[in-house]
Amino acid sequence: MLENDVRIIPDLRFNIDLLVVEASQVAARLIFNCSPQGRFLGLDAHGQRITFSENVFYTFSDGKIVSVWSVIDKAAVERELRGEPAAGSSDRSA
């Protein structure tokens, strides 16, 4: 599942911010701090370090992952690549 991601993001690492396990499902909020090379999520990243979160939901059957549903705030990644402050924050350094 992660082969292409590791190729695009050689320093791919994440922290688990939240983990919920219930019966055959696992939900996690993952926090990434990495440097994608080239294009990432359809955006030009060129090795720029970014931090973003992913909410991912796994469904298991017979001990195997049968489905993965992932949500990444692509707009937040775009803002970070452009050097803009996060939504809802204010830049008071003026």
Give residue 94's pLDDT: 45
CB 46 within 8 A of CB 38: yes
Among 3.10.450.50, 1.10.10.10, 3.30.310.80, 3.90.1150.10, what is the CATH number of 3-81?
A: 3.10.450.50
What is the reported pTM? Answer: 0.76
CA distances from 38 to 1, 43, 50, 51 (A): 20, 8, 13, 16
Q: How far apart are CA 25 and CA 20, in angstroms?
A: 8
Helix, coil or strand: residue 77 = helix
41: tokens are 């999520």
Is the dihedral angle over the CA atoms 3, 9, 41, 38 positive or is it negative? negative
Domain boundaries, the chain: 3-81
Say which amino acid occupies 63. G
- Average pLDDT along the chain, 94 residues, taken 10 residues at a time: 77 94 96 87 83 95 96 87 70 49
